[in-house]
Structures are given as C-alpha cells and as structure tokens.
A and B are shown apart, each in its own frame.
Chain A
Amino acid sequence: MVKIKGAFFLIFIFTLICFQSEGKQFIVSKTSHEFSSIKNALLKISAGDTIFVLSGIYHEYGLVIKVPITLIGNNFPVVDGDSHGQIFSIESDSVTVSGFVIQNTGFSAMNDWAGIRTQNVSVITIEGNKFLNCCYAIFLAGSKYCKVANNIIKGNPANQQLAGNGIHCWQSINCEIYNNEIAGQRDGIYFEFVQGSTISNNHSYENMRYGLHFMFNDNNRFVENLFENNGSGVAVMFSKNITMLNNVYRNNWGASAYGLLLKEINDSYVLYNHFEKNTAAVYMEGCNRIVFTRNDFLQNGWAIRVQASCMNNTIACNNFLGNTFDIATNGSLSLNIYSGNYWEQYEGYDLNKNGIGDIPFRPVSVFSMFSENMPESMVMMRSFCVTLLDKIEKVVPGVIPEDLIDNSPMMKKINNAYPGKGT
C-alpha cells in the first residue's frame, strides 16, 4: 500500500515537472528575434512561459506581469524608466525576475514608484538584479512566500526628500530576504506588518535613515547582516518574538544615531551580535524580557542605554570593551538582570581563581546618570572632577541605582565567536 502511494506521488511530481517545462520560451532582443521590447513580449505570453531578455538598453516603464512567468535577463539587460515611473509591477503569483539592471524610476511626491512592485501575490522570486537610482527598489505589498536574494541596490542620495526604501516589505508573510547589498536609500530594508520572515546575510550601508527599519512585525529573525554607516543605524520597534543573531552594527555615528534602537520590543533575543563604534550601540525603551547574550560591544559612546521603562531584560555573558559608557539609565530603579559579563572597566580581583571577580561591578557611572538627565553636562566629559566623582560613587553609591549591579563580572574576555555557521 505504501509503495503504491509512493509511486503515485512520484507520478504526480513528474507530471508537475512536465507541466512546468511545457511553457514556451520567448527571446527579447534589441537586434532581431520576435520581440524588441519587453512590453510587447508581456502582451503575448501565457502562464508558465519564460522570457529571456538579451543585453541592451530598454527604455520602458509601467510593465505589468499578469500571468505566472519567468523573466530572465541575459548578461544584465538594462531596463531604464527614464524617470517616468514604476518599472515592473507583478500582479500574478509565481513570478521570477532575475538578472536585470533596473534603473531610473523617477521620484514623485505623490506615488511610491518602485523598480519592482508586487501587490497581493505569492511565491515571487526576485533574484540577482541590480537597482540603480530607484525611488523604491523592491516593494512587496501584501505578498506571501517571496524570495529577494542576491540583489544590489544603489540609491541616489541626492534625492533626500523623495527617496524611498531599498527593500520595502509591507503586510507580508514568510519572506526571505538574503544576500542583498543596499546603499544610498532612505531605509535599507523596511519592514512593516510582516510575519515569519527572515532577513539574512544582507549588507546595508550608507542609507540616509536606517539600515533596517522594522515596525509591527512579530516572529521574525534577522541573521548575519552587516549594518554600517547608516544615518541612524537600525530601528526595531513595536514587535515581539524577534531573534537577532550574529549581526554586525558598525560606525553608526552621529547626534541621533544608534546601532540598534529597540522600542517596545518584547520576548526577543539579541545573540552573538557585534556592535562597534556606534554613538549608542543599543538604545532600549519600553522593552521587556529581551535576552542579550554573547554580544560584543566595542568602542561605542554608550554600549547600552536602558531607559527606566525597561523591565525583566537579561544582559549576560557580553563583552564591554572600550566604551565611553557601558550602561546608562535615567531612573533610580533597575529591573533588569546583569550577570556574568566582561567589563573592561572592572577593577576588581579574583582571589579564588574561578574566573569570576570577587567584588561586584557597577556598570553605571554617576556621570552617565547626570548626562542622561541633563545632556548638556556631557560637555564636562573626561574632566578630572568627573573622574573623581565617578570613583567616589563606585565606592559609596548614592546617585547610581543600587540594583544595577553585576554580581559575577568575568575576569577575562569571553569568546563570543558564533559557533554555528548559516541559519
């Protein structure tokens, strides 16, 4: 019985494959062949067909894909919108677009013009394209099971007012965004009302606002991404069950730049991340039950700024190296757990040689308390007077929160190299 079932299944699979390969193939080329423009080809095709576009410059825009097809660029043909508007719009399920250079959508204050837009569809693959000077490069709206991979997106930072996002994902489910390179857009990756998606191995840099802008998305992961030199770093807001694993946040430096801004985030994990040279590596507001483990904080202005509205977060087994301030907070009550971290500023000793310092460490300095409540006092930074105050306060705490304490500070740097590779 089982064998027969297996055979039926195999037959079913084969029929499926045969059915798939049944589609016709069309070639679009500037020189000869049946079609000289993509628009004409799109009018003739039926479901399951494949269009190969040979290299050349195609001045086209407003291309609508209404049936499930595969659109493949051969040797990077250029589709130039000449600033007239949207280039590809996908209105059918099961569409693949790959190997194109898509450029010059134009910028409009009224419309969100995109290089490729998908609207209420599913199983879309957008792979290996280049997007140059697009308002929005890839716009996924209400889409499911989409794959956006290996694309290169370069925006034009001159258009600061009208610029859109690199990969814009809105009300979508189960999307995979990986291996993309995004620069010069407003937000590198924008996620809003997205569920069950993974953002991995992307490089988002030199975007005007955020490298990743993330709001109202539950149950998502972002893994092994590199966010650097973005205007304001990465913002993750109003979400729960987020896993942030093995990402790098680097050089997000400026008056209101954060490595990772967490606002109203619950039940999430921040693991094996590397924060280097950010004004504030992590800024937390209204966050509950987040676990920070095995992260490295290197040479940031503030390693973690925890507002008093945060509760039940765990900060354990992290390295704090060369930060101006390790922890800063604005309240006198601390409801978070700090344990087993390595603090470079720790000056204690370890008599029983168990690797854990014998005297507890208070990671908040009195000066960081001052400056949190009165930002102008930052101008007194590194004054001898302030250093002296800090030392006194470490011995006899008066201003700094009594409970903000690491009772088992590590004596040696923790090895926080990520043990597993891949997702």
Chain B
Amino acid sequence: MKLVKYILFDLVRSRFVLFYFLLLLLFTGTFVLLQDDVSKVQLSLLNIIILVIPLVSVIFATIHWYNSSEFIEVLLAQPISRKRIFISEFIALSLAVGGAFLLATGIPLLIFYPDTVSLLLMIGGFFLTIIFIALAFWSAVFTRDKAKGIGLSLVFWLYFSLIYDGLILMIMFNFSDYPIDKIVVALLSLNPVDVTRVMILMKMEMSAMLGYSGAVFTDFIGSNVGMIYSVVLLLIWSIIPFLWALRKFSKKDL
C-alpha cells in the first residue's frame, strides 16, 4: 500500500492528471451550463466517455509505464514481488486517472442531473479507464520499444472504438437475412466500449427506437438483468487484460 501511495503521489505531482482533471471539468461544466436539456448533456458526455477517456487512459498509461521503467527496475532490486509492484502500479494509475474522471465529471453531473443515466455514465467511464489502463500495461510490457508500445496501445484503442464496430456492421449487412440478434448481443459483449455505449443508450433513447424488431436487445440489455450483465461484463473485461498483463510481466526477462 505504501508503494501505491508513492506512485499516486508521483502521478499527481506530474501535473498531467491535474490537467486531465481540469480538462474534463471544463468539458462537463460547459455541457452542463450551456445546454439546457439533460439528454443532450448526457449524450455529449457519452461521446467523451467512449472516445476520449479510452484514448487518454491508454496513451497516458503506456507513457507512464515507460517513464517509470527505471523506478520499476530499482524496485525489483528490492525484496518486493513483481506481482505486488505491478498491482500497485495498476491501482495507483487507476485511482489517479479514474479518480480524476469521477471527480471532474461526476460532481457536476450528479449535482445537476442525479439520475440512472448519470450513474451509468460514471460506472461506464470508470470501467473504461481501468480496462484501457490494463491494455496499455500489456502493450508496454509486450515491447521495450516505447514507440512500438504506444503504437500498439493506439491500435487497441482504434480497434475497440472504430474497427470492431465496422466489423459488426459488416456482419449485420451480410447476414441480415438471418436472425442475428443473439449473435450481435454476443459480439457486442466482446467489446467493452460497445457494452458501455449500449448500456447507457438503452436507458436513453435507443430502447424505444429499436422498435419491435429489436426486442431481443430491449428485453435483454434494456432490462435490469441486462444492466447487471453489462456491469459484470465490464468487470470481467477489466480483470482479464489485467491478469494477462500481470502474467506477461511476471514471466518477462527484464
């Protein structure tokens, strides 16, 4: 825990987190103050959450890992297990970046619009932060080359927020004659960004606009069971890349 405290202290002092916090606060503040409609504010924030937050988290976490590689090497010389170092790094970074997000977005949102969608926005944003930090750690551990590492983490971001959705659309087109609803639900579950997006939109406009042909989605994802399902999925999504990166780090020849 001491380790977490030191890393956290170091992160906050680096001013990036502060900058990120202020930026998000500025965004949220502008949305809340300039738009009079709840759903518009929440939709603008949704765009931030599914695009900006993964991008910032993944890039910042990768850079942070490379920058603290010497610190980690020093720590490894001490009688501290690799696992503990890795977990501490992860927790500290999650607390710093995720905390900045929760404070900057959560406070204005929950003060002005305390409802289910706001809460889901918070949950989704926080989970996406830690998922992309875990993915960033994996890419950083994967290669020693900083440029390659950042490139790899960018590929992750691009894949989850753009390419994957394109693939789903393509599948939907090519198999539109078949009942693909359930397959699409399964495919959406495999992308944390989509899980977050659908989870939030189901509580907003999407459930009505899907109509009767989208009953599978509305009945399943739109229900309370679906909400729990989504949150559990996000939880699994944050654990698996983390364990994956941890295993790689534990076995790696540094």
Contacts and interface: CB of A to CB of B under 8 A. Distances in A.
A376 B213 contact: yes
Given A255-B211, A255-B212, A322-B37, A382 B184 contact: no
Contacts of B194: 383
Given A253-B208, A322-B37, A376 B162 contact: no
A230 to B, nearest CB: 14
A384 interface: yes
A378 interface: yes
A257 B209 CA distance: 9
B165 A378 contact: no
Given A255-B211, A322-B37, A376-B180, A382 B47 contact: yes
Nearest to B209: A301
Interface in A204-258: 253-257
Interface in B96-129: none
Nearest to B215: A255
B204 to A, nearest CB: 9
Contacts of B217: 376, 379
A322 B184 CA distance: 28
B68 interface: no
Interface in B154-179: 161-163, 165-166, 168-169, 172-173, 176
B201 A384 contact: no
- Most A CB contacts (10 A, CB to CB) among B165, B201, B215, B218 go to B165
A353 B143 CA distance: 56
A374 B208 contact: no
A160 interface: no
Interface in B186-208: 188, 194, 197-198, 201, 205-208
B209 A324 contact: yes
Interface in B25-51: 37, 39-40, 43, 46-47, 50-51
B210 interface: yes
A93 B116 CA distance: 57
A382 B44 CA distance: 10
Contacts of B209: 279, 301-302, 324, 371, 378, 381
Given A299-B37, A374-B173, A384 B161 contact: yes
Nearest to A252: B208
A381 B165 contact: no
A377 B50 CA distance: 19
Interface string A311-322: 000000000001
Interface in A359-391: 370-371, 373-386, 388
Contacts of B210: 255, 375-376, 378-379
A385 B212 contact: no
A contact residues, range? 20 to 34
Classify the secondary structure of B's interface with A: helix
Nearest to B35: A322
B contact residues, range? 35 or more
Contacts of A385: 161-163, 165-166, 169
B206 A378 contact: yes
A374 B201 contact: no
A375 B213 contact: yes
B208 A376 contact: no
A385 B217 CA distance: 20
A256 B180 contact: no
Nearest to A257: B208
B168 A322 contact: no
A375 B176 contact: no
Interface string A156-176: 000000000000000000000
A115 B238 CA distance: 62
Contacts of B198: 379
B172 to A, nearest CB: 5
A385 B218 CA distance: 22
B201 A376 contact: no
Given A375-B213, A380-B165, A383-B165, 12 more contacts: A253-B208, A257-B208, A299-B39, A302-B209, A373-B176, A375-B214, A379-B206, A380-B168, A381-B209, A384-B161, A385-B162, A386-B165
16 contacts: A255-B207, A255-B211, A255-B215, A255-B218, A256-B211, A257-B208, A299-B39, A302-B209, A374-B173, A376-B172, A376-B181, A379-B210, A380-B165, A381-B209, A383-B197, A386-B169
Interface of B: 37, 39-40, 43, 46-47, 50-51, 161-163, 165-166, 168-169, 172-173, 176, 180-181, 184, 188, 194, 197-198, 201, 205-215, 217-218
The 9 A-B residue pairs with the shortest CB-CB distance in the complex, in nearest-first order = A385-B165, A375-B213, A383-B165, A301-B209, A279-B208, A385-B166, A384-B161, A378-B210, A255-B211
